[in-house]
A and B are shown apart, each in its own frame.
Chain A
Amino acid sequence: MSRNAQNDHLTRLEQTSIHIFREAFANFRSVCMPWSMGKDSNVLIWLARKAFCGKIPFPLLHIDTTYEFPEMYEFREKAKAIHGIDLIVRVNEDAIRRGIGYATHDPVTVTHELKTVPLKAAIDEFKWDALVTGIRRDEDPTRAKERWFSPRSAEGVWDYKDQPPEFWGQFASTAPEGGHVRVQPLLEWTELDIWEYIRRENIPNPTLYFARNGKRFRSLGCHPITHPVDSPASNIDEIIEELKQTRVSERAGRAQDHVGRNAMQALRAKGFM
C-alpha cells in the first residue's frame, strides 16, 4: 500500500468526523465533550479544532475518578494549555466519602459510582443535550452496534433494542425529553487508524502508551484496574508496526470489561461510554 493511499484513507476518516462534529454543533443547543485524556480523546480534540477552525466552541469535561495515573494529571494541564481548552472537572465526592474504591469494591461498581454517576450529575447540572464521545466500533462488540448519533433517556439509558434508523447522513438530531444524544465521530476508526493519524498530525499524547521495561499501556483507565501489555514498542512507529501484527484485543488490559460475560453490555446500558 502506498503512502498516498494511507493518507487518503486517514483524510476520509478525518473529514467524515469533522462533518459529524459540525452536524452536532448545528443541531444541538448545548454540546459538551467528555475527555479521558486517552489517545482517542486527544484525536477528538484535534478533529474538533479542525472542525471549528482552531478553537473548540464548547466545554470539555473530565470526570476525575481520583484513580488516574499521576502522569495523566500532568498531561491534562499541558494539553489544556496547548489546545486552549475550556475544561470542567468533576469528582463524585460523595462516593469517595462513602468509601467507594478499588480496594473494597468490584470494578463494575467503582466504574459506575466514580464515572457514570458524576457524568450524569454534570449533564443535569449543565443541561447538555449532546455529548461527544470517542468510542469506536472496533473496540467491543456492543460498541459495534452504535450509531453516529445515539439518543439516551433522562436516566442515561441506551435503548439498544430500539435504535433510530440512520441513513443518508440523517441522524437522530433531537434529544429525548430530559435526555441527551451521544455523538460519536470516531465510530469508523480502528485503533491502527488512531495511531497512524496521531503520527501524521503529531497530536500530543501521554507517554504511558510507550514501552518502558518491555511493557506499555494500550488503553488507559483507572490505575488499579488497568494493566500494561508486554510490548517493546517505545515510539509511535513501533506501535503502528505492532498493531499491524497483533491479534490481542485492545481492551484486554481493562479489568472491568471482563468481570462477567456481559459486563460491558451491563455497564453501557446504564450510561457508561
Chain B
Amino acid sequence: MSAPSANLSPQTSKSGSTDIEDLRKMHVVVVGHVDHGKSTFVGRLLHDTDSLPNGKIEQVRRNCAAEGMDFEYAFLLDALLEEQEQNITIDTTRIFFRTQKRAYAIIDAPGHKEFLKNMVTGAASASAALLLIDASEGVMDQSRRHAFLLSLLGVKQLVVLVNKMDLVKYDQATYEKIKTEYTAFLKSLGLTAVDFIPIAAKHGENIVNRSQPMSWWKGPTVAEALDNFRHEDDLTGLPLRLPISDIYRFDHRRIIAGRVEAGAIRPGEELIFQPGGRRSTVRTFEDWPGPSREVAGTGDSANFTLTEQIFAERGQVVSHIHNQPRVGREFRARIFWLGKEPLQTNKTYRLRLLTQNVEAVVAKVEKITDAATLESIQATSVPRDSICEVTIRAARPIAFDLHHECAITGRFAVEDAGRINGGGIILEARTEKTTREGKVTSAERAARAGHAPAVIWFTGLSGSGKSTIAENVERRLFDAGRQVVRVDGDDLRTALNRDLGFSAADRAESVRRASAVAGLFANAGKITLVTLIAPLAADRAKARAALANHPFIEVFVDAPLEICESRDVKGLYAKARRGEIAEFTGITSPYEAPESPEVHIRTDKLSTDEAVKLVLDALDKIQESKAEDWEV
C-alpha cells in the first residue's frame, strides 16, 4: 500500500497568524428560518476568512460534479448524507475558525421546525447570535420563534443578517422595511439587535469583503461585527454559587468537588450548604499534582476539604453566609417545552437545577404563548415547541435564585422519562401553603432535617466503651446540625425496664423494648444511637428485623474481657466477682460476639477519636450511597 503523505510545511495563511489578541473562543450561534441560507452563509464565511482545509472545496466540487449537482457552499458543512439529500441542516454543527482578532466556534443551528431542540442546544452555549432573514421572503415564523428563544436562553448580543439581497436587486428599501418590522418585534421581547447587515452570502457580499452593488451600506461587514462581539461578563464578582458534584473519599481525605458557577472561593471562608443550612469552613484545596490553588474563580472545578465535617451531598449549593440562594419548593417559571408529549399539570417530572435533581410537578399552567406570534394559546396542556408560564412545585426544597438576580442558579431543565425535554427560568418564588393536611410523612421530616434517620446500635461487654463512643458520636452529629438522640441501656433500666432482671428472657425483653423505643425515634426522623450490651445474637437479629424500615448500623465495641474488667468504671465486675451480681455478662453469662457487624471497633487498639470516625464514616457511607463503590 502506498503511503499518501501530505505536505505540512509552513505556508502563509491569513488565519494562521500567531498574533491573535484573544485566544478565548467566542461561541456564535447562527439561527433563522429554514432555507434563509444559514449553511450557505457559514460555508462562505469559512471560505472568505481562508479557514478551509486544503482541498476541501475541490473535494466537495468533485462530489457535486459526480452526482450532477451544482456546487453550493452549504455542502461544505453538510457532511452527513441525509443533510445533502434533504438540503437542511439536521443538527448543531460547530465550526472552528479564527480571525486576526480571535478564535471562533460557529454553531450552525437548524431552522427546520421539528429540530428546535438542536437550536436550543446550540444557542444555550453561545455568547452571541447571528440571525438570518431572507430579503425576498421577509420575517417568517422561525425568525420570530428563534428570537424568542434567544431571549429566554439569555443570548443578549444579536446581529441580524438580511440575506439574499441579490434576489431583491440589492434594494435598500426592502432592507429598511425588514429592519423596521423586525426591530419592533425584538423590542417586544426586550431585545435589541446590535446591527442589521445586508448580505448576499452566496456571492460573499458584506461577509468579509464589502459589497459593490450595496455601496449604500456603510456599516460593518459580518467579520467586523463578529470581532465587535464581547465575551460574556466575568461572573467572578457575583456571590458564590458552587453546586456540589460529588464527595470523594478515595483516601483519608473527604473532598468536596464542584464547579464554581459564580463568584470565587478561598480557604478560611465560612460556607453554608443549602438546602440543609449546615455551615463549615474551607480548610484546603486539594489539587493534583499540586501545588494547590489559592482561589477558585468562576468556571473552576474546585476540590476542597472542610474544617468541620458536616453532612454534605451532591446537589447542595454552597455559598457564603451573607449572600445565600433562596430555598423553597415552589416558584413561577417561564418554560420552553420540546417534548414529543405535551407538558401536563400534576404529572411528575424531574427538575434539574445545576446538580440538584428532584421530582416536581407543574401545579398550574398560567399562560401558553405561541412563540412565533407572541399570542396566547388556550389549552390545558403545553404542546411541543411552545413557551408557557407555570407554577412548579418540587417534592422537596431546592436552592435557587431568581433568574434576573443570578441567571446560572435561576434556570433549570425539565426531564421526562430520562430525557431532557424542556428548560425554564425562575421568575418569582412562591411561598408554600402554610396549612397542609394529613399526617407528616417521613419524606417531609427528612427534608426538614436535611438527612434521613438511621439506627446505630452499639453492642459489647460492660466497660468496652459503648457509651463513651456513642456520646462522642452524638456530640459530633449534634454539632453538625443533625437530628440525633441516644438511647442508653442503663437509663432504660432505671425506668422503662425497671421490672426486668438479667435472666435470658428478661434480657430478650430488654432488647425488644430498646428496639421499639429506637423505632419510635427513627420514625420521628432522628439518627438514633442505642447502647446496650445485648449479649445474644438471636436478640440482636430480632432488633435488626424490627428496625428494617431504617438504615441499621451494628457497631461491635470490642475489647478483651481483662481490659474491660480492669477499667470497671462502675465497679460492676468487682461486684460480679464477689458473687453480688448473678448472670453478669462475660463472667457468669455468655456474650455472643457479632459475626459481621457494620463496624468493628477494638477499643484496646483505637483512640476514641479514631473509633468515632469509623462510626461517622459508616453513617456517611449510607447517606452518600455511592461511596462504597470506590472507597479504597
A interface residue numbers (CB < 8 A to B):
1, 5-6, 8-9, 12, 15-16, 18-19, 22-23, 25-26, 49-55, 57-58, 137-138, 140-142, 144-145, 147, 160-161, 163-170, 172, 174, 188, 190, 215, 218, 224-225, 227-233, 241-242, 244-249, 252-253, 255, 261-262, 265
Q: A167-B125, A169-B354, A247-B54 are in contact. Are A16 and B5 (CB under 8 A)?
A: no
> Contact partner of B245 among A26, A142, A161, A246, CB < 8 A?
A26
By the criterion CB–CB under 8 Å, are A247 and B79 in contact? no
Q: How far is the CA of A160 from the CA of B420 in the complex (A)?
A: 16
Q: Does B361 contact A (CB under 8 A)?
A: no
Count of A-B contacts judged by CB separation below 8 Å: 192
Which residues of A lie under 8 Å from residue B253 when comparing CB positions? 53
Closest Cβ of chain B to A253, distance in Å, is 7
Q: Does B68 contact A (CB under 8 A)?
A: no
By the criterion CB–CB under 8 Å, are A230 and B7 in contact? yes
By the criterion CB–CB under 8 Å, are B5 and A188 in contact? no
* Interface 1/0 per residue, B285-326 and A, CB below 8 Å: 011110000000001110100000000001000000000000
By the criterion CB–CB under 8 Å, are A12 and B24 in contact? yes
Q: Does B386 contact A (CB under 8 A)?
A: no
Q: A142-B80, A230-B5 are in contact. Are A26 and B301 (CB under 8 A)?
A: no
Closest Cβ of chain B to A158, distance in Å, is 11
The tally of residues in B whose CB lies under 8 Å from a CB in A reads 78
Which of B245, B301, B415, B630 is most buried by chain A, counting CB atoms within 10 A of its CB?
A: B301
By the criterion CB–CB under 8 Å, are A230 and B6 in contact? yes
User: In the complex, which residue of chain B has the Cβ closest to the Cβ of A141?
Assistant: B79
Q: How far is the CA of A57 from the CA of B257 in the complex (A)?
A: 14
By the criterion CB–CB under 8 Å, are B21 and A1 in contact? yes
Q: Does B1 contact A (CB under 8 A)?
A: yes
Which residues of A lie under 8 Å from residue B54 when comparing CB positions? 247-248
Closest Cβ of chain B to A155, distance in Å, is 18
Closest Cβ of chain B to A54, distance in Å, is 4
Closest Cβ of chain A to B521, distance in Å, is 32
By the criterion CB–CB under 8 Å, are B80 and A168 in contact? no
> Contact partner of A53 among B4, B53, B245, B255, CB < 8 A?
B255
Which residues of B lie under 8 Å from residue A55 when comparing CB positions? 250
Which residues of A lie under 8 Å from residue B415 when comparing CB positions? 170
Which residues of A lie under 8 Å from residue B11 when comparing CB positions? 245, 247
* Interface 1/0 per residue, B7-23 and A, CB below 8 Å: 11111010010111111
Top 9 A-B pairs, shortest CB-CB distance: A141-B79, A167-B124, A174-B418, A170-B413, A165-B117, A18-B301, A54-B288, A245-B10, A227-B3
Closest Cβ of chain A to B114, distance in Å, is 10
Q: How far is the CA of A232 from the CA of B7 in the complex (A)?
A: 11
User: In the complex, which residue of chain A has the Cβ closest to the Cβ of B80?
Assistant: A265
Q: A137-B94, A164-B419 known; 11 other A-B pairs, CB under 8 Å?
A: A8-B23, A53-B288, A57-B250, A166-B420, A167-B124, A168-B124, A170-B420, A228-B3, A231-B9, A252-B4, A265-B81
By the criterion CB–CB under 8 Å, are A9 and B300 in contact? no
By the criterion CB–CB under 8 Å, are B303 and A215 in contact? no
Closest Cβ of chain B to A135, distance in Å, is 13
Closest Cβ of chain B to A180, distance in Å, is 13
Closest Cβ of chain B to A248, distance in Å, is 4
